[in-house]
Amino acid sequence: MKRVLPWIVPAGILLVWQALSQFGLLSGQVMPAPTAVAEAFWRVTRSGELWRDIEISTWRAFAGFAIGGGIGFALGMLNGLSRLSEKLTDSTLQMVRNIPHLALIPLVILWFGIGEEAKLFLVALGVFFPIYVNTLHGVRSVDRQLLEMGRAYGMSERAIFWRVVFPGALPSIFVGVRYGLGIMWLTLIVAETISASSGIGFMAMNAREFMMVDVVVVSILIYAALGKIADSVARLLERTCLAWNPVYAEV
Amino acid sequence: MNVSVLDHTPDTNVRFSSVGAAVSLRGVTKAFGQQKVLHGIDLGIPAGQFVAIVGRSGCGKSTLLRLLAGLDQPTGGRIEIDGLETGWRERVRLMFQEPRLLPWQRVAANVEVGLTHARDGNDRRRQAIEAIEQVGLSGREKEWPSILSGGQKQRVALARALVSHPGILAFDEPLGALDALTRIEMQTLIEQVWLDKGFTAIVVTHDVTEAVALADRILLLDAGRVAMDVTVDLPRPRRRGDPAAAAIEGRILERLLER
Ligand SMILES: Nc1ncnc2c1ncn2[C@@H]1O[C@H](COP(=O)(O)OP(=O)(O)O)[C@@H](O)[C@H]1O
Ligand SMILES: [Mg+2]
């Protein structure tokens, strides 16, 4: 019963939606019926066009995430461990952080045109900050008493990093990763909608030109599903890596 | 250094009795900037002695222990352990007021932290399990620290300190955060492993009763100097509430409360 409870409201909405379309109260040009959306999904899946678009969008998302997240992680670690490096770069980064990365779209199109670089750049930039900020915060909040213990027990600098600093910063890094994943999809949706010749955003814009509302709704749902899958994988990783933490032990 | 390597003979079941190391401090001073914390400490501790250090808060007890553990360097003077001026860091283990276990490592891995020298994994695990047994936590090797009670965590910390068979075990108010009953249990455990292994024990405590119950000798630190050096010549195991112990305790408390 408990497992069914959360599904009652969404199922009800679907039923009402279907009924409204069925009785002509909801125009197919505004919102196609759930069955019409399912049909459109079947169509684009069979033609193979959907898989190509999902593949290219997913590739863009994760390549951008890897670049931005990798640099953010490295700089966060460096600035957390070295006062000099932090003094040198942190205030600049904090200033740049105030610029919404999507505001750079016109500039990015000028620089890169509508090629892959533009989308990778925007995603990487968007993902960079949450990972950087949370890695830095994680390293800073590592228990000093544990660091002192490591030193008193003769751990090498390397051992202190891998056994104390990194695991200590990991919960915070995961917060950054999950936040970054959200920004990753959001940035990609905007970038693909504005300028692309492939990908899910392109599929949606293309369908719009031909007034295929059902396909537009399908692409929106695909974005939602991809976002949900990425977040679930991150949660699973988090729960596995942080099993020691009583906060994640239950569930 | 070489001494500690010898102590790690992989032989099973070797009891390292009489591994205690002798300590000698000559004119040791320590200053933080302008503030002088230790004003020339001269002190000899024979191997295997149980020494308690008492004193007001801020008199430099922790500073002295940190020097002995090699976490900090003296501003002046010499520290020798078993006659060596350097290379003895591995012979000293420090226990803190907090257990300071790595929350992301299970009990056994936390104890293995004490085995700094990388060795074969099976051997490390065997030594860790032996140390865990010594502190009465057999069977808890695979637990996360977060589910242990405060007293059990401190026992794991003790196992981590013991596992490398140190010549000197220094404790900085290790029982300060425990409730009265757990405290007494831990005192008994510390005394028992000390009798069993024979290391030199140096315990900083603010509890004079605890000092008299455990130590062969009590040092009272005041304004960065050893103000009192009392030998506690009472047979073990010591009974709680022994009048001779109470007399010693009274003398020390009187000196502590002076001023
Ligand atoms: N790292 C440090 N930097 C500056 N002052 C310190 C430092 N460590 C300790 N002190 C000072 O040294 C004095 C003795 O401290 P401590 O040895 O911790 O005393 P306690 O006897 O309470 O353990 C205190 O006044 C403390 O403020
Ligand atoms: Mg102290």
- For A136-145, what is each residue's pLDDT tens digit? 999 999 999 9
Could you tell me if residue B85 is inside a domain? yes
In a domain, B181, yes or no: yes
User: From the CA of B58, how far away is ligand 1's center (Å)?
Assistant: 6
Cα distance between residue B116 and residue B118, in whole Å: 6
Task: With respect to residue B37, please indicate whether it lies within any of the assigned structural domains.
Answer: yes
Give per-residue pLDDT as tens, A168-186: 999 999 999 999 999 999 9
CB B115 within 8 A of CB B128: yes
Q: Which of B1, B72, B100 to mutate to probe the A interface, most A CBs <10 Å?
A: B100
Domain enclosing residue B185, as ranges: 23-101+166-256
Q: Decide if B53 is inside a domain.
A: yes
Fold of A36-241: MetI-like fold (1.10.3720)
Which residues on chain A are in Cβ contact (under 8 Å) with B1? none
Whether residues A244 and B146 touch (CB distance < 8 A) is answered with: yes
Q: How far is CA B135 from CA A87, B40, B67, B155, in A?
A: 46, 37, 27, 6
This model of the complex carries an ipTM of 0.85
Domain total of chain B = 1
> Cα separation of B215 and B219, whole Å?
10
From B109's Cα to the closest Cα of chain A, the distance in A is 11
Domain assignment of residue B139, yes or no: no
Atom nearest to B56 CA in ligand 1: 21
Q: Residue B245 belongs to a domain with what CATH number?
A: 3.40.50.300
pLDDT tens figures, A43-75: 988 988 889 999 999 999 999 999 999 999 999
In tens, the pLDDT along B1-42 reads: 333 433 443 333 333 345 899 999 999 999 999 999 999 999
> How do residues A191-219 score in pLDDT, each as one tens digit?
888 877 889 999 999 898 998 899 999 99
Whether B140 is in a domain gets the answer no
Going by alpha carbons, the residue nearest to atom 26 of ligand 1 is B58
Mutate to test the pocket of ligand 1, among B28, B30, B32 (most ligand atoms within 8 A of CB): B32
- Enter the DSSP assignment of B87: S
Ligand 1 atom at shortest distance from the alpha carbon of B173: 23
Could you tell me the pLDDT band of residue B118, with boundaries at 50, 70 and 90?
Answer: low
**Rounded distance between C-alpha atoms, residue A10 and residue A85, angstroms:** 50
Domain spans, chain A: 36-241
Given this model, what pLDDT does residue B2 score?
A: 38
For ligand 1, is residue B165 a contact (CB within 6 Å)?
no
Number of Cβ atoms within 10 Å of the Cβ of A29: 8
User: How many CA atoms lie less than 13 Å away from B132 in the CB half-sphere?
Assistant: 23
